């Protein structure tokens, strides 16, 4: 699925802004056909945003079930004779969409886009009623999983989930209506290569509509707009002598301009930004353009006060400025695919990305912050099962399809901290890893390992291209005893390194309440958070085969209520409103190589 864009032959309109909104408290909207008329007791709701924190009430924050969005959409009179497409960049966790009285699409999964050709249901020059019902229920057959709890004392529905971030829901990203020609570029597959100073771009164009009498041409332009290669035909390989590659820290992009002609008439044109670069795991190194790359950075979250997981350009830009300020070179999209705008910006700024599905919390022994509280097997006919795996496979297909053209993305991460010690876990993950490689043979793929599955017990990491481990020595283990933590972390990382694969510490860190200080090793203080990072870095610098360090987390973020959480998870190096804690300066000194007293 190609993203909508403006071009000489295409036009797009965003439908962002205030929509009408109604919580479906009693779950009656579908039976009563709410899409057929104005929503009952509608109130305004911003798109994009989570609905949970807009209204100051637990009813909104903790709502479980359906929530309805509606607005009027005017279809431009100039759009006659074209194809009209409605696209939602994300609806968390699933949605059904109506144009007037006609159901046009449904989608499962909260973090990938979906679209429908609605040409037959709209009239250029007239308005339609657009209705979306979003549902936030989590089950063992959703990604991420969850399950219903008995109703609360107020009679309201409740649910439980195993991941450590608030279950925000709603229309988190843009909604767009766009017009394309009826013969159009429907899909593009691009693979880049490098051979010394020569780059290559293999391309394959799929046309939609009637291809009769058309010719396809491509032109590749460098960042300065100069034509560096051209080709004819729907597929081929472009060769670029003296290529300017995309590389970490320098997001040089080319534009691949695809044009479809019928005779002399331009039928459609589509422009895809392309970064010419290679990625490879060789021995214990991860190579970008043949050069060893060391990940320095963070796992993040899409999370902010008021708007929850709603995408916001200002916050995104600010975060990238902070990433630059601190000297990081990479991020991981924990624990779900982020807005496409984030990857666009990472491409342009040369920030490297580990791109993750929303498969988090497939681990029942680790439940509600307690280990061993839930005795059920994670993988069984009644819990995570074959149906879950199919939903998970679809999430992988949609992630790879959406993000395969981003040069910033160098690793696929298909799950965070699942249960991986059982035979069932191996049987669950082996086909998913195979699927990812079949979809994209050009990038390494992995599963993030958690501490209950050390090297001698994990049954999944040996199937991965690299070792990705989250470790909280000094926090959840050896709390307050950094000397003990240092010994254990080193022993474990050495054991992982002995597997012969590159080792990436994908999470480490501890909570700190900004402004809380202490002299000795006192957990929750800014000093302790910094000391824990310093301890970890000493270990990382001693162990060969380590290719990366991603601190958990970039910023404090919201979670479900829990006695171990103080208004959310405080492992941020920045507060939720992006003020640096002491740890931010600690990291900046390391990552920018600053000497004592330098700022
Ligand atoms: C890790 C999880 C992450 C949590 C973190 C924590 O991957 O989602 O937020 O622990 O407990 O296990 O802070």
> 381-392, pLDDT tens digit by residue?
999 999 999 999
CA–CA gap between residue 171 and residue 132 (Å, rounded): 9
CATH number of 291-592: 3.20.20.80
Q: Map tokens 């597929």 to a residue.
A: 235
CA of 507 relative to ligand 1 center, distance in Å: 8
Residue 582, pLDDT > 80, answer: yes
Atom 4 of ligand 1: nearest residue by CA position: 164
Minimal-distance CA residue to ligand 1 atom 2: 164
Testing ligand 1's pocket by substitution, the residue of 368, 569, 576, 583 carrying the most ligand atoms inside 8 A of its CB is 569
pLDDT for residue 374 is more than 90: no
* Active-site pick, 302, 419, 507, 526: 507
Task: From the CA of 417, give the closest atom in ligand 1.
Answer: 7
CB 449 near ligand 1, within 6 Å: no
> From the centroid of its chain, how far is CA 403?
9
Which are the contacts of 445, defined by CB distance < 8 A and separation ≥ 6? 411, 412, 413, 414, 433, 436, 437, 464, 465
User: Residues 293, 294, 300, CA angle at the centre, nearest 5°?
Assistant: 115
pLDDT in tens, 226-246: 999 999 999 999 999 999 999
What does residue 467 show for φ and ψ, rounded to 5 degrees?
Answer: -90, 125
**Alpha-carbon distances of 356 from 277, 285, 353, 410, 411, rounded to whole Å:** 20, 21, 9, 11, 9
Q: Is 470 in the pocket of ligand 1 (CB under 6 A)?
A: yes
Q: Which atom, in ligand 1's list, is nearest to the CA of 163?
A: 8
Report angle CA 109, 37, 79 to the nearest 5 degrees: 70
Give me ligand 1 centre to Cα 508, in Å.
9
Query: Residue 489 and residue 385: Cα distance in Å, rounded?
Result: 33
Per-residue model confidence as pLDDT tens digits over 62-85? 999 999 999 999 999 999 999 999
Residue that wins the pLDDT comparison between 154 and 252: 252
Please tell me if the CB atom of residue 571 comes closer than 6 angstroms to any atom of ligand 1: yes
**Ligand 1 center–CA 468 separation, angstroms:** 14
How far apart (Å, rounded) are the C-alpha atoms in residues 90 and 113?
Answer: 5
Distance from C-alpha of 80 to C-alpha of 92, rounded to nearest angstrom: 32
CA distance linking residue 406 with residue 408, whole number of Å: 5
**129-157 pLDDT tens trace:** 999 999 999 999 999 999 999 998 989 99
Show the 3-state SS of 33-97. CHHHCCCCCCEEEEECCCCCCCCCCHHHHCCCCEEEEEEEEECCHHHCCCEEEEEECCCECEEEE
Q: Which of 161, 450, 475, 507 maximizes ligand 1 atoms within 8 Å of its Cβ, making it the mutation to test the pocket? A: 507
Measured in Å, residue 20 CA sits from the centre of ligand 1 at 35
User: Could you give the percent of the chain with pLDDT greater than 90?
Assistant: 96
- Collect all residues with Cβ–Cβ distance below 8 Å to 262 and sequence separation of at least 6: 183, 213, 214, 215
Calculate how far, in angstroms, residue 547's C-alpha sits from the geometric centre of ligand 1: 21
Which pLDDT does position 367 carry in this prediction? Answer: 63
453-467 per-position pLDDT tens digit: 999 999 999 999 999
pLDDT at 368 over 70: no
Ligand 1 atom 6: residue of nearest CA: 164
Provide the β-strand partners of residue 549.
296, 505
Q: Are 232 and 217 in contact (CB under 8 A)?
A: yes
Q: Is 490 in the pocket of ligand 1 (CB under 6 A)?
A: no
The pLDDT, as a whole number, for residue 369 is 56
Which sequence spans correspond to the domains of the chain?
Answer: 11-180, 184-277, 291-592
Q: Is the pLDDT of residue 370 over 80?
A: no
Q: What is the pLDDT of residues 264-278, one digit of tens each?
A: 999 999 999 999 999
In angstroms, how far apart are the furthest CA atoms of the chain?
A: 78
511 lines ligand 1 (CB under 6 A): no
CA of 164 to the centre of ligand 1 (A): 6
Residue appearing with tokens 């958070």: 529
CATH code of the domain occupying 184-277: 2.60.40.10
Judge whether 417 counts as a catalytic residue: yes
- Ligand 1 atom with least separation from CA of 511: 13
- Predicted confidence (pLDDT) per residue in 486-506, tens digit: 999 999 999 999 999 999 999
Residue 88 CB neighbour total at 10 angstroms: 25
Question: Residue 598 pLDDT > 90, yes or no?
Answer: no
Asked whether 109 and 143 are in contact (CB, 8 A), the reply is yes
| pTM assigned to the model | 0.97
Count of CB atoms situated within 10 Å of the CB of 463: 17
Determine how many CB atoms are found less than 10 A away from the CB of residue 379: 22
pLDDT of residue 168: 98
Site of tokens 């992009």: 253
CB distance 238 to 200 below 8 Å: yes
Relative to the CA of 416, which ligand 1 atom is closest? 7
Mutation pick for ligand 1 pocket among 359, 413, 417 (CB with most ligand atoms within 8 Å) = 417
Establish whether 549 is a catalytic residue. no
Encode pLDDT of 419-439 as tens digits: 999 999 999 999 999 999 999
**3-state class of 486 per DSSP?**
helix
Q: How many angstroms separate the alpha carbon of residue 58 from the centre of ligand 1?
A: 25
Q: Rounded distance, CA 577 to CA 96, Å? A: 34
Query: How confident is the model over 322-349, as pLDDT tens digits?
Result: 999 999 999 999 999 999 999 999 999 9
- As a whole number, the mean pLDDT across the chain is 96
Give the SS3 label for residue 404: coil
Fold (topology level) of 11-180: Jelly Rolls (2.60.120)
Question: In the chain, what is the straight-line distance between the N-terminal and C-terminal CA atoms, in Å?
Answer: 46
Rg of the chain in Å (alpha carbons): 25
Assess whether the C-beta atom of 303 lies below 6 angstroms from ligand 1.
no
Tens digits of residue pLDDT in 156-202: 999 999 999 999 999 999 999 999 999 999 999 999 999 999 999 99
Instruction: Express each pLDDT in 541-576 by its tens digit.
Output: 999 999 999 999 999 999 999 999 999 999 999 999
Could you tell me the two tokens for 321? 């400025």
Quick check: 596 pLDDT over 70?
no
State the Cα–Cα distance between residues 569 and 556, nearest whole angstrom: 6
Q: Which residues pair with 11 in a beta bridge?
A: 179
């Amino acid at each position: 699925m190609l993203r909508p864009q403006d071009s000489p032959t295409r036009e797009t309109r965003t439908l962002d802004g205030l929509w009408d909104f109604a919580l479906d408290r009693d779950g009656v909207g579908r039976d009563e056909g709410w899409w057929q008329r104005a929503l009952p007791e509608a109130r305004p709701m911003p798109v994009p945003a989570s609905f949970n924190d807009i209204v100051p009430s637990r009813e909104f924050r903790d709502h479980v079930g359906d929530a309805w969005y509606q607005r009027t959409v005017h279809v431009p009179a100039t759009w006659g004779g074209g194809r009209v497409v409605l696209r939602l960049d994300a609806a968390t966790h699933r949605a059904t969409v109506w144009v007037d009285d006609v159901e046009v699409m449904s989608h499962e999964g909260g973090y990938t886009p979906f679209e429908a050709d609605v040409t037959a249901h709209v009239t250029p020059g007239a308005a339609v009623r657009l209705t979306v019902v979003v549902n936030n229920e989590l089950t063992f057959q959703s990604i991420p999983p969850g399950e219903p709890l008995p109703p609360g004392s107020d009679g309201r529905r409740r649910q439980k989930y195993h991941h450590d971030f608030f279950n925000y829901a709603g229309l988190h990203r843009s909604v767009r209506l766009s017009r394309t020609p009826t013969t159009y570029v429907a899909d593009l597959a691009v693979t880049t290569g490098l051979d010394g100073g020569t780059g290559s771009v293999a391309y394959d164009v799929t046309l939609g509509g009637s291809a009769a009498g058309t010719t396809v041409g491509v032109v590749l332009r460098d960042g300065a707009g100069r034509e560096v290669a051209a080709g004819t035909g729907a597929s081929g390989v472009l060769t670029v002598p003296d290529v300017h590659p995309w590389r970490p820290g320098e997001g040089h992009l080319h534009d691949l301009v695809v044009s479809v002609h019928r005779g002399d008439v331009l039928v459609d044109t589509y422009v895809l930004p392309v970064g010419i670069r290679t990625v490879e795991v060789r021995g214990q190194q991860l190579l970008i353009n043949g050069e060893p790359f060391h990940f320095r950075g963070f796992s993040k979250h899409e999370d902010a006060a008021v708007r929850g997981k709603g995408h916001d350009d200002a916050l995104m830009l600010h975060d990238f400025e902070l990433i630059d300020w601190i000297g990081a070179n990479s991020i991981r999209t924990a624990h779900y695919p982020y807005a496409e705008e984030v990857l666009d910006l990472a491409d342009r700024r040369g920030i490297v990305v580990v791109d993750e599905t929303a498969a988090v919390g497939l681990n029942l022994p680790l439940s509600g912050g307690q280990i061993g509280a839930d005795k059920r097997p994670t993988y069984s006919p009644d819990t995570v099962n074959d149906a879950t795996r199919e939903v998970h496979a679809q999430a992988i297909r949609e992630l790879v399809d959406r993000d395969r053209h981003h040069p910033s993305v160098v690793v696929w991460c298909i799950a965070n901290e699942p249960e991986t010690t059982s035979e069932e876990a191996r049987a669950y993950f082996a086909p998913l890893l195979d699927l990812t490689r079949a979809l994209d043979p050009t990038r390494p793929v992995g599963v993030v390992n958690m501490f209950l599955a050390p090297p001698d017990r994990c049954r999944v990491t040996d199937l991965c291209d690299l070792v990705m481990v989250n470790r909280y020595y000094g926090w959840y283990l050896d709390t307050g005893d950094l000397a003990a933590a240092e010994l254990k972390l080193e022993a474990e990382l050495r054991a992982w390194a002995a597997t012969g694969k590159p080792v990436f510490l994908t999470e480490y860190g501890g909570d700190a309440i900004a402004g809380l200080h202490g002299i000795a090793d006192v957990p929750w203080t800014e000093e302790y958070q910094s000391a824990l990072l310093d301890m970890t870095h000493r270990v990382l610098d001693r162990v060969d085969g380590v290719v990366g360090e991603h601190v958990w987390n970039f910023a404090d973020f919201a979670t479900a209520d829990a006695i171990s959480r103080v208004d959310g998870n405080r492992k941020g190096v920045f507060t939720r409103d992006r003020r640096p804690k002491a740890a931010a300066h600690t990291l900046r000194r390391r990552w920018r190589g600053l000497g004592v007293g330098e700022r």
